[in-house]
């Protein structure tokens, strides 16, 4: 990547770490193959896959047999939901979920199931409606929720909700931990989930691999049947190099998590100081105002004077890679469901942007990113004002 450009869209995925890329290249170069055969090469491949699974299991506090490798976090959520829901059972989710999770909820609704939306406050944090939560739980329903919002940066205060869910005697609790994994240690038994999904691309690993962690007593029903791979949970030859690279990236991220979070906090502070008041630039700050309740290095805003995609395109032209909040809604002219749920107007909900720094960004880049955003906003707002005056 050119040094003249600043990549500030790490919430969508970071570049693969050099040491992880080296491992991946070595495995492909060595000709790692199908781990399901009976020859020496297959046994070596199986050993690499087993080691990757054991490494992730140790980091998450589970047994290896509880981990199912999938091609994406979205597939992991779909596999968990497919295994836990029945046609008429209620499903609890929220409007600030990843669009892939919302699509799964819509599919459940179209199949005749009931879907209840958990309300959120202005920051995107769950409003713990005890009657609703206990009601869905009491019917043996399923909850599909995200621990931290990639669009808003808000880290959910999950303790009360999880307590209410257990009190209601609820069914399966499916949690998306993709964004949360790099911000805090996720120990499966402490979270209290039935299923937890984590991804590789968000921890500087390769895309195309993720993991579904399930409670020992849960039986998964494969979306695509196959020849018994992944203990019969997912058909198709396992992506051994990707699994090994994912596990290595996750281990490196875990070892450096505290130092990385401190660095990201510094980047966020430098960006904020250089930007000043967002309102000065016609921006509405979104997500949690309490920085302790949002992902470090993550900032999100909305504008009523520009579409998010147009603002992102202008920033890209100026050398800053940002996003419209969720990578899944890039290219869409529709308002963000998350911003609408937070109480923003239709115009503001179409004008969301996200700046998310990563481990490889520098303080100078954070300051320059703020300057680029400031200059871009000024230029576009000037054109917008001129257009209104005609």
pLDDT of residue 2: 44
If one compares 162 and 70, the residue with the highest pLDDT of the two is 70
pLDDT of residue 382: 87
Integer-rounded Cα radius of gyration of the chain: 22
CA 264 to chain centre: 17
Identify the three-state secondary structure at position 257.
Answer: helix
User: Mean pLDDT across the chain, nearest whole number?
Assistant: 92
Instruction: Give residue-wise pLDDT tens across range 252-285.
Output: 999 999 999 999 999 999 999 999 999 999 999 9
pLDDT of residue 332: 55
Q: How far apart are CA 137 and CA 331, in angstroms?
A: 37
Contact 337, 350 (CB under 8 A): no
pLDDT of residue 316: 97
Q: What is the pTM of this model?
A: 0.93
pLDDT of residue 228: 84
Percent of the chain at pLDDT above 90?
Answer: 75
If one compares 343 and 95, the residue with the highest pLDDT of the two is 343
Read off the pLDDT band of 388 (50, 70, 90).
low
In the predicted model, is pLDDT for residue 326 greater than 80? no
Instruction: Give residue-wise pLDDT tens across range 132-149.
Output: 999 998 888 999 999 999
Residues 158-166: what's their mean pLDDT? 88
pLDDT of residue 1: 41
In the predicted model, is pLDDT for residue 205 greater than 70? yes
- Give the burial class of 71: count Cβ atoms within 10 A of its Cβ; 0-12 exposed, 13-18 middle, 19 or more buried: middle
Any idea what DSSP says for residue 62?
A: S
List the beta bridge partners of residue 90: 114
Tokens of 126: 């769950």
Identify the three-state secondary structure at position 6.
Answer: strand
Instruction: Give residue-wise pLDDT tens across range 66-97.
Output: 999 999 999 999 999 999 988 778 999 998 88
Residues 184-201: what's their mean pLDDT? 94
Strand order, beta sheet including 298-302? 284-286, 298-302, 352-356
Contact 364, 336 (CB under 8 A): no
Residues 126-132: what's their mean pLDDT? 91
């Amino acid at each position: 990547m050119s040094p003249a450009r600043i990549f500030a869209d790490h919430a969508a995925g970071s570049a693969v770490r050099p040491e992880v890329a080296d491992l991946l290249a070595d495995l492909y170069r060595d000709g790692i193959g199908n781990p399901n055969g009976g020859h020496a090469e297959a046994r070596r491949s199986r050993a690499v896959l087993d080691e990757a699974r054991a490494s992730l299991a140790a980091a998450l506090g589970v047994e290896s047999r509880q981990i199912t490798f999938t091609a994406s976090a979205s597939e992991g959520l779909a596999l968990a939901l497919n295994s836990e829901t029945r046609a008429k059972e209620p499903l609890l989710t929220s409007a600030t979920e990843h669009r892939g999770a919302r699509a799964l909820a819509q599919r459940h609704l179209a199949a005749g199931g009931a879907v209840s939306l958990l309300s959120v406050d202005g920051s995107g944090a769950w409003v713990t409606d005890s009657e609703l939560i206990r009601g869905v739980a009491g019917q043996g329903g399923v909850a599909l929720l995200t621990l931290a919002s990639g669009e808003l940066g808000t880290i959910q205060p999950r303790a009360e909700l999880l307590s209410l869910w257990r009190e209601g005697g609820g069914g399966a609790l499916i949690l998306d931990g993709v964004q949360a994994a790099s911000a805090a240690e996720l120990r499966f038994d402490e979270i209290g989930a039935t299923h937890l999904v984590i991804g590789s691309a968000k921890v500087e690993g390769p895309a195309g691999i993720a993991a579904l962690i399930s409670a020992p007593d849960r039986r998964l029903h494969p979306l695509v049947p196959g020849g018994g791979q992944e203990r019969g949970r997912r058909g198709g030859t396992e992506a051994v190099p990707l699994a090994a690279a994912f596990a290595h990236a996750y281990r490196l991220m875990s070892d450096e998590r505290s130092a990385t979070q401190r660095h990201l906090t510094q980047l966020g502070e430098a960006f904020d100081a250089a930007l000043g008041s967002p309102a000065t630039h016609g921006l509405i700050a979104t997500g949690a105002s309490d920085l302790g309740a949002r992902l470090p290095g993550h900032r999100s805003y909305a504008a009523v004077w520009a579409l998010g995609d147009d603002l992102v395109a202008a920033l890209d032209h100026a050398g800053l890679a940002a996003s419209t909040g969720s990578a899944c809604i890039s290219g869409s002219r529709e308002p963000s469901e998350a911003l609408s749920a937070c109480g923003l107007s239709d115009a503001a909900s179409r004008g969301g942007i996200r700046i998310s720094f990563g481990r490889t960004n520098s303080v100078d880049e954070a300051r320059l990113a703020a300057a680029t955003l400031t200059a871009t906003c000024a230029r576009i707002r000037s054109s917008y004002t001129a257009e209104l005056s005609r």
